[in-house]
Amino acid sequence: MKPIPYSRQSISEDDIAAVSAVLRSDFLTQGGELPRFEAAFAEAHQVAHAVAVSNATAALHLACLALGVGPGTRVWTSPISFVASANCARYCGAEVDFVDIDAHTRNLSVASLRDKLQRAEREGALPRVLIPVDFAGLPADLAEIRGLADRYGFAIIEDASHATGATYRGGPVGSGWADATVFSFHAVKIITTGEGGLIATQSAALANRLRALRSHGITRDPNALQTPPEGEWVYEQQSLGYNLRMTELQAALGLSQLARLPALRAQRERLARRYDQLLADLPLACPARLADRCSAWHLYVVDLPSGAPWPGRAQVFAQMRAAGIGVNVHYIPIHTQPYYRALGFEPGDYPVAERYYAHALTLPLYPDLADDDQDRVVAALRVALQTQPVPSRAAAVLA
């Protein structure tokens, strides 16, 4: 039987036509598709400014720089995320620290954050920026986090890489609780540009800094030049920027995918509900649903039961993979990675995150997952959970 991946892009004939049209046009980069994509994304997310870049890692990096993250500053994030959520602060020479997660939502815990902020205030070690992650597509506790940001004076970069199209208290994610909201358009995310990322913000000043940073720190805007220009060729490099632009091919694909966002989201939501129902009698925990927010359903992560008579996660994972089911694990806690251990973090530092990680299994979920294939995933999981642990070598020798 055909293997089922854990995720996969959904590409329509319209998507293909949009990219082909760019290939036949005059501009492969720095043309009209990028501003059209940015304007459409901003409108769909009820936000004033959208700045698209080459990927979400670059978006996080530039958002950190634009918000003043640098040597001598601190950035806090969740240990249950992709490493990019923490690495962006290291690119800027800042110190990284983590806030443990909430076992129910799997997002950064507001209670842990409050405690940590009280301690940090006493020690004069408050963060410049907090990066809450909308894990699996479920928005973080943005209202509570906004309240703490206003009280303690840190900025919020929401990592919504999983959460394009998610809603929080009636509005789309990115519409203004955070100072900057970062989206990813990697192939497995909610909408894709192949590789791609975007920063949404209500601040014109921040958007201008981000636009300069993504293109060498150069401006050609006659109104922004420091010296009256001698002619139309004049540009000024006013700061040190990078080349982290998105191409016209990517922007055209993004624009076409954005038009499909409601349908792609609805399909993920339908499949997630179907998992909820199909798994209801199994001894595992399904993802949380909260009344004031809707997940974008990037990932469907179950918490496996622990201890005898249940097989461990490694065994369930191996058996599912052997059956051609592309299960996965999201994520190895960032602070336990060798790079972060070398900075002084240790296993045991964030016990809720580590307990979550020990039992987590990501089931396949993507818009084009067929119901039959989803049934196969659940059937394979039932078989795997009925499996007794393999006898250990010692037991085999004694017998």
Ligand X SMILES: *Cc1c(COP(=O)(O)O)cnc(C)c1O
List 49, 61, 162, 268, residue binding ligand X (CB under 6 A): 162
Query: Is residue 306 within 8 Å of 278, Cβ to Cβ?
Result: no
Cα 213 to Cα 243: distance, rounded to the nearest angstrom: 8
Query: Is residue 186 within 8 Å of 160, Cβ to Cβ?
Result: no
From residue 288, give the alpha-carbon distance in Å to each of 171, 175, 294, 313, 374.
19, 23, 10, 20, 20
Query: Which one of the spans 49-57, 102-110, 288-296, 320-328 is the region binding ligand X (CB under 6 A)?
Result: 49-57
From residue 66, give the alpha-carbon distance in Å to each of 77, 83, 211, 330.
17, 20, 10, 29
List 81, 105, 201, 257, residue binding ligand X (CB under 6 A): 81
Query: Is residue 287 within 8 Å of 295, Cβ to Cβ?
Result: yes
Nearer to ligand X, 219 or 247 (CB): 247
Residue type at 384?
Answer: A
**Residue 2 bears catalytic tag:** no
Nearer to ligand X, 335 or 376 (CB): 335
From residue 280, give the alpha-carbon distance in Å to each of 274, 283, 285, 302.
10, 8, 9, 11
List 56, 190, 323, 361, residue binding ligand X (CB under 6 A): 56
B/e letters for 61-76, b = 16+ CB within 10 Å, e = fewer, are bbbbbbbebeeebbbb
Nearer to ligand X, 159 or 179 (CB): 159
Under the binding rule (CB under 6 A), the answer on residue 197 touching ligand X is yes
Q: For the segment 124-153, give every residue that binds ligand X (CB under 6 A).
A: 133
Cα 238 to Cα 179: distance, rounded to the nearest angstrom: 24
Any idea what the Cα angle at residue 127 is, between residues 75 and 157, rounded to 5°? 55
- Determine whether 12 is exposed, middle or buried from the number of CB atoms within 10 Å of its CB (0-12, 13-18, 19+): middle
Element (H, E) at 156: strand 155-159
List 73, 175, 184, 202, residue binding ligand X (CB under 6 A): 184
Under the binding rule (CB under 6 A), the answer on residue 250 touching ligand X is no
The catalytic residue among 189, 209, 265, 298 is 189
Q: For the segment 255-294, give every residue that binds ligand X (CB under 6 A).
A: none
Nearer to ligand X, 10 or 81 (CB): 81
Element (H, E) at 25: none
List 82, 177, 357, 366, residue binding ligand X (CB under 6 A): 82
* Number of chain residues interacting with ligand X (CB under 6 A): 14
Query: Which one of the spans 5-13, 53-61, 219-227, 387-395 is the region binding ligand X (CB under 6 A)?
Result: 53-61
- Alpha helix locations (H) across the chain? 13-23, 33-44, 56-66, 84-91, 110-123, 142-152, 204-214, 248-278, 313-322, 338-341, 351-359, 371-386, 393-398
Nearer to ligand X, 211 or 298 (CB): 298
Under the binding rule (CB under 6 A), the answer on residue 57 touching ligand X is yes
Q: For the segment 288-317, give every residue that binds ligand X (CB under 6 A).
A: none
Tell me how far, at minimum, the Cβ of 282 lies from ligand X, in Å.
27
Under the binding rule (CB under 6 A), the answer on residue 84 touching ligand X is yes
Tell me how far, at minimum, the Cβ of 102 lies from ligand X, in Å.
16
Under the binding rule (CB under 6 A), the answer on residue 89 touching ligand X is no
List 90, 106, 186, 211, residue binding ligand X (CB under 6 A): 186
Tell me how far, at minimum, the Cβ of 44 lies from ligand X, in Å.
19
List 7, 10, 55, 267, residue binding ligand X (CB under 6 A): 55
Query: Which one of the spans 25-33, 157-165, 201-209, 360-368 is the region binding ligand X (CB under 6 A)?
Result: 157-165
Active site residues: 189
Footprint on this chain of ligand X (rule: CB under 6 A)? 55-57, 81-82, 84-85, 133, 159, 161-162, 184, 186, 197
